[in-house]
Each structure stands twice: as structure tokens, then as C-alpha cells.
Amino acid sequence: MSSTVLETERLLLRPPERRDIPFFAPLIGDFDVAKNLGTVPHPYAESDASTWISQLDERRAKGEAFQFGVTRKSDGAYMGGCGLHLDKGELELGYWYGKPYWKQGYATEAARRVLQFGFEELQVSDIWAGWFHDNPNSGHVLAKLGFVAKGFQKRSCLARGTDVGCNIVTLSRDAFVARRVA
């Protein structure tokens, strides 16, 4: 599954590669993006991106991470990332987009396809996600996808250098399928 490529109407989702670093490093390096992610430092350098790609390749080979770079079909623009990774034995959905691509439906569109991959290809029964309390737009994306509240906890945020309140949400395969049929 290391070369898995997913498609939607507007998007192509493929494993990130070293050649993508000059395109995604400036986007994820923006503090307004990094502050909404747990494991992204700020500032974010191309060397951070290179290390992440190396780790991602290893995790993908072990079946522990399924991260996709999100590109627009119309012009190939690298817009962000969306994927699943194992955290304490459960799959977590995560995503990020550069500011020029916010509020255009890309996060929902890509996440829906990644969730389909998780439920159908990986055959998992539940997927969870978290969104920082001060990022309601992410909470809105997850609600549109059918995620429901599970709890609240403090989670580390490298870019902020502190723990941040995080809403934990979950989605079952049955609920995902029911929404697709309706």
C-alpha cells in the first residue's frame, strides 16, 4: 500500500515525496497552520520536512501511517496533507492545508476519501480525530463527516510549545456507511 493513490472529483491524494518539500514546507511552516497541529515545530525548515519524509517512509512500510499529499487535479498545486496514523493501537485522522486553500471544501473532500480508504481498504471499525479548542473550523469539517464527540483532553502542540485543549471525536464504519447511503 506504499504507493496507494486516491482520487476525488477535484483532488489527487498520493504519498508525499522529497520533491514535494519546497512546496509543502512553506505552507505548513506558517504559524497559523502549525499551531493547529500537534507534532509540527515552528519555525519549520526543509530539514524538518526531510526528516518527516524519512520517518513516514518507514512508518508506511510497517503499516503504521497512511499519509497523503493533497494536490489539485486542475493544476497540480500541492495544498496540504491528509492521512491516517496509528496512535496507541487506533487509527487517527489528521489533516492540514496551507492558508490559500482554506474554506474551499478541500479538507472535507480529501478526508472523506481517506476515511473511505480506512474503512474499506484497511478494514478498521473506528477512526478518531482531535481538534484544538481554538480551531472550530476543523471541528466543523469533522462534524460534516459524521464524527461525534468522545471527550476533551490536553494535547501537546510543538509549534505553541505547550499543551492545548483538544476535542476528541470518533467515527464508526457503520455511521460512515450510513451517511454515504443517505
- Confirm if 130 and 147 have CB atoms less than 8 A apart: no
Residue 31 burial (CB count, 10 A): 12
Does residue 85 surpass a pLDDT of 60?
A: yes
Q: 14-54, pLDDT tens digit by residue? A: 999 999 999 999 999 999 999 999 999 999 999 999 999 99
Q: Which domains occur in the chain, in start order?
A: 6-181 (3.40.630.30)
Tell me the pLDDT tens digit for each residue of 130-160.
Answer: 999 999 999 999 999 999 999 999 999 999 9
| Contact status, residue 37 vs residue 90, Cβ threshold 8 Å | no
C-beta neighbour count of 48 within 10 angstroms: 17
Question: Terminus-to-terminus CA distance in the chain, angstroms?
Answer: 30
pTM for the structure as a whole? 0.95
